Chains A and B, each alone.
Chain A
Amino acid sequence: MKKYLVAYSIALQETLQRRSTLLMDRLGGFAIVVSLYSFWNALLGDKPSFLGYTRSEMLTYVLLINVLRSFVFTGRGWQLVGEISSGRISSYLVRPISYHGYSLALDMAQKTVHAVSAFLEVALLAWLISGGIFLPRDPATWALFAAAAVLSSLVFFFLEMLVSSLAFWTSESGGPLFCFELFLQFAAGAFFPLDVLPEGIQRLLSATPFPYMVFFPARIFLDKVPHPEALRLLAVELAWLAAVVFAALGLWRQGVQSYAAEGG
């Protein structure tokens, strides 16, 4: 366990060391929030509610997207693709360390920095739009939201590992990963709440792990899910996590077996 803690601490130092990259990342995320916020603000106009969301709920949703994006959508997929195709992965495979554990430690470091900055950004925005934010009163809601967010980030991490492991077989796995990330943002509800979509599409999406990543945690936060139902959603998400971990590790083992250590 100690090795992963040391990896976490080193990765934290490195993330902070790359100040301009961090700043650019944050500015990019902030720009998305501001544009989504302006978009929904314009749509809402003078209406008290729109598509089942009150003004403050919709604006809170948009701000939550920023926090969840920073915490959930920071996997290590691109690093894995790069490390496999450049052959750098070799240096991990000959050392007594689990690549997934090590990557997760690195990812957690990234998440720590990004989640803290996202929180500060949202606090700033909330202060600027003074009082338009929905904050749940029941501490149980906060706890359920936090549990859902942690599970989501793990599901995302292992999903990315799963898709990126394709790089063991093809040098062109960047394409699938790119499409996966794009589709995922839409299907997770990272652009808008999924219940504004037609019923059929919603039903289809709820059979995938995607809505559990942003949409459900956000709905839990907005107190739109009764607590027993929230617990059921968490149980389903846990089952998804188990399935995704199983698949990612299985594919990984196969990939390492057939690894041709390209690049000399």
Chain B
Amino acid sequence: MAPAIETKGLTKDYRSPVKEPGLWGGIRSLVNRRYKDIRAVNDVSLRIEEGELVGFLGANGAGKTTTLKMLSGLLTPTAGEALALGHVPWRREAAFQKKLSLVMGQRSQLWWELPAYETFRLNQAIYGIAEADFKMHLDELVDLLDLGEHLSVPVKKLSLGERMRAELAAALLHGPRLLLLDEPTIGLDVVMQKKVREFVKAYNQRHGATIMLTSHNMTDVVALCKRVIVIERGRILYDGALDRLVESYADHKILRVRFSTPVTASDLRTLGSVVHCEGESATLEVPRANVSASAAALLRSYPVADLNVEEVAIDDIVRRLFSHS
């Protein structure tokens, strides 16, 4: 079977003006503007099969969004080839666009002053969705996303989480085969993040749609993706199973503790490596296998007011990966 996405040597350069510092620099750039080429994506080759749910990781400016934009046809690459669902994305053929959806966490396609239902109707017309299919998809999405009573409220009155879910519904009414999600949980609270994650997973399972998502949020990726692609400075650093990546580069978790009385770093050294300890707060790195033991010991032996167990930030994993490469 043909893959959902296949790219060879995908490369994108941006041209950005260079301004020298100070007023004189400003005047000079008015008369004689100089530019410098920045390579946002560098020789990216990847293959994603139909129905896969792939996490796309990397720090800010690593090239994630640029790659998604090329795959959705928004950007034309400087070099390289890509096929998405059998189409060259940047030709922007209607047949391709009807099978695609791009959701950017910070962008909205909903009409602000009107209830989301009106945008849904507009998308029905744009994508030429038959009335019966529209009703069926809408019912399913309203149910999965718990949108019921929010459909008749003007979008501006919705909370960020409600809006994001309405946004997802608007993006999925036409039943896309390929879904590109750029930071779908950004700005949402923990409960909403979980809802959105559960929805993405359910959608992938029910419809067999290929999903590629970028996120800063390690929890998103752990909950959803078996396979991850890590990108740094435009190049693919890692492409493979998430389990193997986490085992190799995030072999520990972070314990964040707040005590009711001050504690010194030397007290905590037996529990893990102390990243930070000042007065009543401390941060420890603890090997994954020892997390429960260390947390229990902390609670038993110290006046703990608050304790949080966190995954290592994606940026940290990527940094480790980067320093190893």
Contact = CB atoms under 8 A, between A and B. Distances in A.
Contacts, number: 73
Contacts of B65: 264
Nearest to B119: A10
A209 to B, nearest CB: 30
Contacts of A93: 73-74, 92
Contacts of B98: 96
A3 B125 contact: yes
Contacts of B118: 10, 13
A257 B122 CA distance: 26
Contact of B94 (A2, A13, A96, A264): A96
Contacts of A6: 121-122, 124-125
Given A90-B102, A94-B102, A259-B74, A10 B94 contact: no
Interface string A83-97: 000011011011111
Contact of B107 (A10, A90, A96, A259): A90
A130 interface: no
A18 interface: yes
Contacts of A10: 111, 114, 118-119, 121-122
A97 B98 CA distance: 10
Contacts of A88: 107-108
B14 interface: yes
Interface in A177-218: none
A96 B97 contact: yes
B113 A94 contact: no
Contact of A90 (B76, B100, B104, B112): B104
B165 to A, nearest CB: 17
Nearest to B170: A91
A96 to B, nearest CB: 4
A18 B122 contact: no
Q: How large is the interface on A (under 10, 10 to 19, 20 to 34, 35 or more residues)?
A: 20 to 34
A7 B100 CA distance: 21
Interface in B12-53: 14
Contacts of A97: 126
A3 B119 CA distance: 11
Interface in B101-132: 101-102, 104, 106-109, 111-114, 118-119, 121-128
Interface residues of B, number: 35
Nearest to B103: A91
Identify which of B69, B72, B100 gathers the most chain A CB atoms within 10 Å of its CB. Answer: B69
B246 interface: no
B73 A94 contact: yes
B103 to A, nearest CB: 9
B75 interface: yes
A146 B198 CA distance: 56
Nearest to B73: A94
Contacts of B73: 93-94
A259 B122 CA distance: 25
B72 A94 contact: yes
A261 interface: yes
A18 B113 contact: yes
Contact of A261 (B75, B114, B154): B75
Contact of A3 (B14, B97, B101, B122): B122
A87 B74 CA distance: 11
Interface string B70-95: 00111110000000000000001010
Contact of B113 (A14, A90, A95, A260): A14
A101 B72 CA distance: 21
Contacts of B75: 259-261
A261 B111 CA distance: 21
A13 B119 CA distance: 12
Contact of A14 (B69, B101, B111): B111
A192 to B, nearest CB: 37
Contacts of B101: 94
Nearest to B104: A90
A7 B114 CA distance: 13
A95 B176 CA distance: 11
Nearest to A93: B74
B28 to A, nearest CB: 17
Contact of A13 (B14, B102, B114): B114
B293 to A, nearest CB: 42
Interface in A1-57: 2-3, 5-7, 10, 13-14, 17-18
Given A10-B111, A10-B118, A94 B100 contact: yes
Contacts of B114: 10, 13-14, 17
A17 B65 CA distance: 35
19 contacts: A3-B125, A3-B126, A3-B128, A10-B118, A13-B118, A14-B112, A14-B114, A17-B113, A18-B113, A88-B108, A91-B102, A91-B107, A93-B73, A94-B92, A96-B94, A97-B126, A260-B75, A261-B74, A261-B75
Closest 5 pairs (CB-CB, A-B): A96-B94, A6-B125, A3-B125, A96-B97, A91-B109
Given A93-B74, A260-B75, A261-B74, 5 more contacts: A2-B125, A3-B122, A7-B122, A10-B111, A10-B122
